[in-house]
Amino acid sequence: MKVILFGAPGSGKGTQAPLLSKHLNVATISLGDILREEVKRDSELGREVKGYMEKGALVPDGVVARVIEENVDKEGFILDGYPRNLAQAKNLEEVLQKKGQGIDAFIYFEVDEDTVINRLSKRIVCKKCGALYHLVNMPPAHEGVCDVCQGSLYQRKDDNPTVIKKRLEVFMQESRNVVDFYRDCGKLITVDARKEKDDVFAQIKEKLK
């Protein structure tokens, strides 16, 4: 199965991705992870990506599409963090059509502003492996220490209410066209992402049947 997870920052995509990956027995493709890995490998594509990153510029949609094309698996995948806008959604369709593939489900994590602010303002991240925690809902076993790799935990500078609201506004402006695109394709699945993670996962499994 080929699935896209789509939602605002703090909507819970990162929490649900590994659960769904295990349930469907397919890999999760995270655009951010792929870009970092290409740069680390010092591949031709990685050097191109690094050039944009070093300038502080966004990696162009065309380059991102090539990265995705080289990493999608015909047996199935979960895409997390891509597409982010309508142009990328259309690029993805072109990439998959060339491979004789198509998306089975586009899962939209519907969430309100208060929930996003509550989650992100209390979110902490591992400096070493990137594992996510929540000070209230999902704290680490030992304060300030990652359960996975024992790395140090910190709070991102942009995880404060003022910045979160701005990020959410930007997302909502860009998301409408993407959601409409997959609705028109008959692939849209909406879940109430305000609920606890087990409830959200149960919704996803039920709607994928």
Is 183 assigned a catalytic role?
Answer: no
d(CA 11, CA 203): 14
Residue of 66, 122, 167, 195 marked active site: 167
Q: What is the enclosing helix (H) or strand (E) of 30? A: strand 27-30
State the Cα–Cα distance between residues 144 and 137, nearest whole angstrom. Answer: 15
CB 118 within 8 A of CB 161: no
- Coil, strand or helix: which one is 175? helix
Of the candidates 84, 90, 187, 197, the residue annotated as catalytic is 84
What DSSP string describes 33-73?
Answer: HHHHHHHHHT-HHHHHHHHHHHTTPPPPHHHHHHHHHHH--
Beta bridge partners of 110: 192
Is the Cβ–Cβ distance between 6 and 179 less than 8 Å?
Answer: yes
The active-site residue, picked from 156, 165, 176, 205, is 156
| Nearest-angstrom CA–CA distance, 8 and 171 | 6
Q: Which residue in 192, 194, 188, 193 sits closest to 208, CA to CA?
A: 188
Which of 2, 13, 50, 194 does the annotation list as catalytic?
Answer: 13
Structural contact between residues 177 and 185, judged by C-beta atoms closer than 8 angstroms:
no
Is 84 annotated as catalytic? Answer: yes
Whether 167 is catalytic: yes
Selected catalytic residue, list 2, 50, 119, 123: 123
What residues act catalytically?
A: 13, 84, 123, 156, 167
